[in-house]
Structure 1
């Protein structure tokens, strides 16, 4: 059971306690603390009923009672145990409680010990949290309607999955009191629902999201009675901003979520992102940011930093260095396997260790069962059952806690009629070996009865001893035999058997071919190459469904319906033979030519059975124009090696486009073809260099851009017109001796004071002509500004040749607007109010 797929992990697991006493119903009705819906409890927790005196003997440690002492409405499936010397009755549900639901608990007198049948509950009602809107995220994304453009998007984050059809009529969006049009893009229920904003909004101003009352969570029974409100500021598209950095546990694995205001390419971010302390990690692109997966560990703190210069997909650039700490503390307890859900093969000759992600779990109970070979198809086809509890869940009372509809999220494998339980053991989390943030569960061949004559598939179950809903199961095939099957169109199959450890073929293995209804269709033995064949019986009503292999004590299988490779995206049609029964291979010196060049090609011809054709065999090699008409047809003869060389001369006036080369037999049977491109392209005729002097200047000083232009393989380019455009932009500064200091200049609004620099200092253009030596100079007087940090200037020069074709070059220079730069050391963590901070 994967908790993150059932309910959002937004609440801390605490213990809800219900007091019980011998008060009458009238006395309880007069209790002023009684609330209409009772107290709020977390969906992920046990429920404890406290008594003022011992009621029953304490349950032995590690055991749970299946007797139903308390009846819940709606029904909750789970188990009980007595704790604290019989003064507390602890109930642990099989799955997290239903969201946004009011529950009623009643003691069942018939199940209580003798003499305690008159006990009643002081508080019989309790409820899980109602639907809440956590926050709203606003960002830019690539438009799917107009390629190459951006669109403003938003995500609404709820604490439970919500149906888009329920949200759409209740959601309203506004800015400064004016309604804003939007389109809800989400289709399936989810915690996060996305939308596209269809009209222009003002950057820097907040958007108001309002959800009218009446919204209900999926599987919840209580709707909201008050509006849900959230706000988010519209970001600037010109600047790349990191909106949020959070650490969370996803499917049991710690991950770091990096939210940005526009998409970022993984290749651009990878070299500029650092994690301290260093851990191996990978970056995955998300709609609104990036996701970091790797060797992160729960309970540790990490520092994530991004160097300036990263560009977003929409052109925004990160101006200043970003650095923030992230941790994975106080996460909801969870259990999961490190391997993918479909991965089941574990090498029998290896370490035989399963990786577990245990978060907030102190002790687990491990149960291993074997499903026998004759039932493997059944368990793979049925997968997991949807219900709650095990056989004999409620003993002694003869009643069932509902029909199972309330527990539709709890999944387990039905093993009672398909195999046997081999062992059940308890492990403390601290006792399990740990590697790369994973706890390792070792499987012994002796415990698994690996050498027993009855072979099969294993089911490994890991469950928290104190919280029964924390439970995960996995199918494991312990083997060193790797199978690859190729099924023919007539139903036959070819089996390739290799060792997983050495990749060597395995010979002498017994192969059984089973139908989809579990009947043996045939047997075979692998040869020296590890190959076994099955020829289908003509007219047989049976269809091949699974292949099993036994070699000494090892057992393996491959289930064909679940392992089939979809081939629609591959070229699997094979080679189509032609009427001449020849194959031709055509290649050339390159794929791109200019008018006036010569195309050189070589052709190799072979029979279908790879024999070399006789020398002197006539073939035709022809070149087709882009229009499809024949341009040249050469009659050639093969040499003794079955090859022939050809060449085609392209006149300078030939048309450009995509040409086709074809090889045909003497009687015009097409053997092969190849396309080449003929294009007209002209290199630069000028060699241009640009330099800025001086490279380090002060405000109000003059910068000279010096240009030198030379004709390629000729004299200086005299009399050529040129343009030079000067511009200034902010340049981030960092001191090598002060790595933890921030030298950026911030405005009072929290934005960089240099963000509007382009508007304050517009670009200036200078024009001129080169002299007889091909040289030119453009001067730029810097504005007299101060206290703006370090600026970077750019001189972008454009020189035109005799045909008016431009050649561009640029030079940079640095402007220091203050004699000394002041930096503030970054504060290591969060600081409360009224506390001294060392600066």
Structure 2
């Protein structure tokens, strides 16, 4: 018994000494906590230096950290004690992620562990951003109110139908959906309500547990919203929304019923004056013009007498103000279906650049024998501040990275004006 007791004491002491000998560091700061955006670099700053100065500011694929669920991307040490992770694609919607510290984090230091729990973070939960109501006519010229639900993420229409309940004046109402499949904007047509010259009080309820497409977390509570269904014999403007794409401005005009396809130019005008075209929609109309300046504000005037398709008439002049605000930074090819440049073409690639003051264009070369592999497995050009590096692609899920001798051949910096289009030649 004494021998067994001595062995137990020896083991406990050995474990205690081993724990005492571990070299801990602490995580002083990270933005990988709470709610994060889907497109955001994640920073981790520790209280001790972990990486040599000679290897700073280089992007690499070493798994210093890992995430659950997995996030593809690359790492960069911006300082000896600060690690930055850049996702290569948007994070999943409404999903909680957990961070894990890997051994590669300590490869160039005397430390071997991080004290405390690793952080966790989540993308924004599913939300109902907006609900608008408009009287419409179907193919049989039957009038019915339609709710347009806008969510912050795409989701399955079938999931919405299973969770959605509609009430009108306190009684359950029958409805049909205008779309199937996956969408972030869904029309709900109330089929059990006959048009009368009166207003109704409607309420929609989305039960808890609704998830976005590819999302991990369902809504924790039921979502409800109340709306007023106006008389179909009165036309009113409920809301204006402004958006600028970088090349043209769009004003979405939400009305209580579909607008009559008449000469709307006799009723609508802008100050300062500018030409525009009208696109009729289920919710009203979209007013488009390339003359809209994103930095200016405009006054929208609608004269009384404007007609709706159900016979409703705007009884008073409407005055509204619209402004585009600051546009989000964006870069995209104007032709998304193009695959290659013809030898007989002009050799130009048109790129639309919006509110991006400075960018670098890296042109890399792929040899013919590597082309199919690059297209099928994913291709990502690399560049170092001092010299070109090899581009690479991943083959399946093997985790092996193959160098394809695809050098970054040239780089150029352009400074476009917001909204202009640049040409790579």
The interval holding the TM-score normalised by the smaller chain is 0.7 to 0.9
Equivalent residue number for residue 188 of structure 1: 181
| Among candidates 314, 319, 326, match of residue 323 of structure 1 | 319
Matched, 1:439 2:420: yes
Check 1:53–1:61 CA distance in 2 against 1; reply closer, same or farther (3 A cut).
closer
For residues 284 and 94 of structure 1, the distance between their equivalents in structure 2, rounded to whole angstroms, comes to: 37
Q: How do residues 573-652 of structure 1 correspond to structure 2 at under 5 angstroms?
A: none
Equivalent residue number for residue 25 of structure 2: 22
For residues 121 and 186 of structure 1, the distance between their equivalents in structure 2, rounded to whole angstroms, comes to: 48
Q: How do residues 368-767 of structure 1 correspond to structure 2 at under 5 angstroms?
A: 368-369=363-364, 403=397, 422-427=409-414, 431-432=415-416, 434=417, 438-444=419-425
Measured against aligned partners, the alpha-carbon deviations of 1:498-548 in whole angstroms (never above 9, x if no partner) come to: xxxxxxxxxxxxxxxxxxxxxxxxxxxxxxxxxxxxxxxxxxxxxxxxxxx
Task: Indicate conservation of the 8 Å contact 1:106/1:121, yes or no.
Answer: no
Task: Indicate conservation of the 8 Å contact 1:355/1:438, yes or no.
Answer: no
Q: Tell me, what secondary structure is at the counterpart of 2:86? A: strand
Deviation at 1:40, TM superposition (A): 1.3
For residues 104 and 357 of structure 2, the distance between their equivalents in structure 1, rounded to whole angstroms, comes to: 35
Check 1:173–1:105 CA distance in 2 against 1; reply closer, same or farther (3 A cut).
same
Task: Indicate conservation of the 8 Å contact 2:158/2:181, yes or no.
Answer: no
Matched, 1:150 2:153: no
Deviation at 1:211, TM superposition (A): 0.7
Task: Indicate conservation of the 8 Å contact 1:67/1:111, yes or no.
Answer: no
| Among candidates 104, 107, 121, match of residue 110 of structure 1 | 104
- The normalised TM-score by structure 2 is 0.75
Q: How do residues 113-262 of structure 1 correspond to structure 2 at under 5 angstroms?
A: 113-120=108-115, 122-144=117-139, 146=140, 148-200=141-193, 203-248=198-243, 254-262=249-257
Equivalent residue number for residue 97 of structure 1: 91
Q: Tell me, what secondary structure is at the counterpart of 2:162? A: helix
Matched, 1:287 2:282: yes
Matched, 1:354 2:350: yes
Deviation at 1:383, TM superposition (A): 11
- The normalised TM-score by structure 1 is 0.40
Q: Tell me, what secondary structure is at the counterpart of 2:234? A: coil
Task: Indicate conservation of the 8 Å contact 2:63/2:104, yes or no.
Answer: no
Q: Choose 1 or 2 for highest CA Rg.
A: 1
Deviation at 1:443, TM superposition (A): 3.5
Measured against aligned partners, the alpha-carbon deviations of 1:228-257 in whole angstroms (never above 9, x if no partner) come to: 112221122222222211123569865322
For residues 299 and 123 of structure 1, the distance between their equivalents in structure 2, rounded to whole angstroms, comes to: 44
For residues 251 and 50 of structure 1, the distance between their equivalents in structure 2, rounded to whole angstroms, comes to: 37
Task: Indicate conservation of the 8 Å contact 1:109/1:116, yes or no.
Answer: no
For residues 362 and 122 of structure 1, the distance between their equivalents in structure 2, rounded to whole angstroms, comes to: 40
For residues 408 and 181 of structure 2, the distance between their equivalents in structure 1, rounded to whole angstroms, comes to: 39
Q: Tell me, what secondary structure is at the counterpart of 1:168? A: helix
For residues 173 and 307 of structure 1, the distance between their equivalents in structure 2, rounded to whole angstroms, comes to: 34
For residues 278 and 381 of structure 2, the distance between their equivalents in structure 1, rounded to whole angstroms, comes to: 41
Deviation at 1:142, TM superposition (A): 1.9
Deviation at 1:151, TM superposition (A): 2.0
Measured against aligned partners, the alpha-carbon deviations of 1:366-402 in whole angstroms (never above 9, x if no partner) come to: 1335678x89xx88xx99758585689xx9xxxx899
For residues 47 and 72 of structure 1, the distance between their equivalents in structure 2, rounded to whole angstroms, comes to: 12
Task: Indicate conservation of the 8 Å contact 2:175/2:188, yes or no.
Answer: yes
Equivalent residue number for residue 51 of structure 1: 46
Equivalent residue number for residue 8 of structure 2: none
Segment drifting more, 254-263 vs 113-122: 113-122
For residues 343 and 274 of structure 2, the distance between their equivalents in structure 1, rounded to whole angstroms, comes to: 27
Deviation at 1:167, TM superposition (A): 1.4
Equivalent residue number for residue 300 of structure 2: 304
Check 1:386–1:298 CA distance in 2 against 1; reply closer, same or farther (3 A cut).
farther
Deviation at 1:42, TM superposition (A): 1.5
Measured against aligned partners, the alpha-carbon deviations of 1:708-756 in whole angstroms (never above 9, x if no partner) come to: xxxxxxxxxxxxxxxxxxxxxxxxxxxxxxxxxxxxxxxxxxxxxxxxx
Q: Tell me, what secondary structure is at the counterpart of 2:243? A: strand
Q: Can you give the 5+ residue segments of structure 2 that lack an aligned partner in the other structure? A: 1-23, 384-388
Deviation at 1:175, TM superposition (A): 2.4
Check 1:215–1:250 CA distance in 2 against 1; reply closer, same or farther (3 A cut).
farther
Deviation at 1:169, TM superposition (A): 1.7
Task: Indicate conservation of the 8 Å contact 1:338/1:357, yes or no.
Answer: no
Check 1:386–1:308 CA distance in 2 against 1; reply closer, same or farther (3 A cut).
farther
Task: Indicate conservation of the 8 Å contact 1:189/1:218, yes or no.
Answer: yes
Check 1:93–1:438 CA distance in 2 against 1; reply closer, same or farther (3 A cut).
same
Deviation at 1:48, TM superposition (A): 1.4
Deviation at 1:206, TM superposition (A): 2.8
For residues 137 and 113 of structure 2, the distance between their equivalents in structure 1, rounded to whole angstroms, comes to: 66
Task: Indicate conservation of the 8 Å contact 1:208/1:231, yes or no.
Answer: yes
Deviation at 1:166, TM superposition (A): 1.1
Q: Can you give the 5+ residue segments of structure 1 that lack an aligned partner in the other structure? A: 1-20, 29-36, 405-414, 445-839
Deviation at 1:344, TM superposition (A): 7.8
For residues 126 and 382 of structure 2, the distance between their equivalents in structure 1, rounded to whole angstroms, comes to: 35
Check 1:58–1:364 CA distance in 2 against 1; reply closer, same or farther (3 A cut).
farther
Q: Tell me, what secondary structure is at the counterpart of 2:209? A: coil
Deviation at 1:351, TM superposition (A): 11
For residues 61 and 348 of structure 1, the distance between their equivalents in structure 2, rounded to whole angstroms, comes to: 44
For residues 57 and 421 of structure 2, the distance between their equivalents in structure 1, rounded to whole angstroms, comes to: 22
For residues 268 and 50 of structure 2, the distance between their equivalents in structure 1, rounded to whole angstroms, comes to: 60
How many aligned residue pairs are there?
381
Check 1:75–1:353 CA distance in 2 against 1; reply closer, same or farther (3 A cut).
closer
Measured against aligned partners, the alpha-carbon deviations of 1:629-673 in whole angstroms (never above 9, x if no partner) come to: xxxxxxxxxxxxxxxxxxxxxxxxxxxxxxxxxxxxxxxxxxxxx
Task: Indicate conservation of the 8 Å contact 1:107/1:120, yes or no.
Answer: no
Deviation at 1:273, TM superposition (A): 2.6
For residues 336 and 61 of structure 1, the distance between their equivalents in structure 2, rounded to whole angstroms, comes to: 30
For residues 385 and 280 of structure 1, the distance between their equivalents in structure 2, rounded to whole angstroms, comes to: 46
Task: Indicate conservation of the 8 Å contact 1:306/1:323, yes or no.
Answer: yes
Q: Tell me, what secondary structure is at the counterpart of 1:22? A: strand
Equivalent residue number for residue 18 of structure 1: none
Q: Tell me, what secondary structure is at the counterpart of 2:312? A: coil
Deviation at 1:336, TM superposition (A): 2.1
The structure, 1 or 2, with the larger RCO (C-alpha pairs under 8 Å, 6+ apart) is 2
Check 1:325–1:133 CA distance in 2 against 1; reply closer, same or farther (3 A cut).
same
Q: State the Cα RMSD in Å.
A: 4.0
Check 1:439–1:119 CA distance in 2 against 1; reply closer, same or farther (3 A cut).
farther
Deviation at 1:128, TM superposition (A): 0.8
Task: Indicate conservation of the 8 Å contact 2:100/2:118, yes or no.
Answer: no
Segment drifting more, 294-303 vs 283-292: 294-303
